[in-house]
Amino acid sequence: MSEEEKRLIVTKIKDGTVIDHIDAGRALYVLKILGITGEEDFTIAVVMNVESKRMGRKDIVKLEKMELRKEQVDEIALIAPNATINIIRNYRVVKKYKVDVPKVIEGLINCINPNCITNQKREPVRSTFLVKSLRPLILICKYCGEEIHHEDIIRQLTGV
């Protein structure tokens, strides 16, 4: 496919956020955690399975007019650890950064060990995970040492 043809599939946006380098197949999960339903009054472009030099195939989400909060970017990192966030103003990329999996993940994911202190009704302890491995993503419960793997993390965050 020529560069021109590629550009026609993915037109540039004027103002907003482009989430690029999402692992192929995960764009819909990213929309889900951002709470995007398609009923918004701004344009949303979702491009799935496009060729990427770096990743083989990748997904891209373009959100016109929308900027992301830090907590949203952290959740995107847990879904798509290779993603790049591009802030667009007047057609230009004015800021570009890679998402970063937070070192400590608090209150976002439940420990899957039913005996963990974070799952005891009488002991209201906030779930806390540390990063055991980045690729593949594996988190480890600070309290009981239980591991949680990427598919389960995604399942919990998106509720699918």
Residues making contact with ligand CTP (CB under 6 A)? 10, 12-13, 18, 20, 60, 62, 84, 86, 88, 91, 93, 96
Complex with Zn ion: residue 46 or 157, whichever CB lies closer: 157
Give, as one character, the DSSP assignment of residue 127. P
Please give the residue whose beta carbon sits closest to ligand CTP in the complex. Answer: 12
Give the footprint of Zn ion on this chain (CB under 5 A): 111, 113, 116, 141, 143-144, 146
> b or e along 32-59 (b: 16 or more beta carbons within 10 Å of the residue's beta carbon)?
bbbebeeeeeeebbbbeebebeeeeebb
Q: Is the dihedral of CA 51, 11, 154, 129 positive or negative?
A: positive
Q: Which is nearer to ligand CTP, 12 or 126 (CB)?
A: 12
Q: How far is the CB of 144 from Zn ion (least distance, A)?
A: 3
Residue 59 binds which entry of ligand CTP, Zn ion, none, CB below 5-8 Å type-dependent: none
Kindly state the smallest distance separating residue 52's Cβ from Zn ion, in Å. 36
Q: Which residues pair with 120 in a beta bridge?
A: none
Q: Rounded to whole angstroms, how far apart are CA atoms 153 and 145?
A: 15
Residue 57 binds which of Zn ion, ligand CTP, none (CB < 5-8 A, kind-dependent): none
Residue 140: exposed, middle, or buried by beta-carbon count in 10 A (0-12, 13-18, 19+)? middle
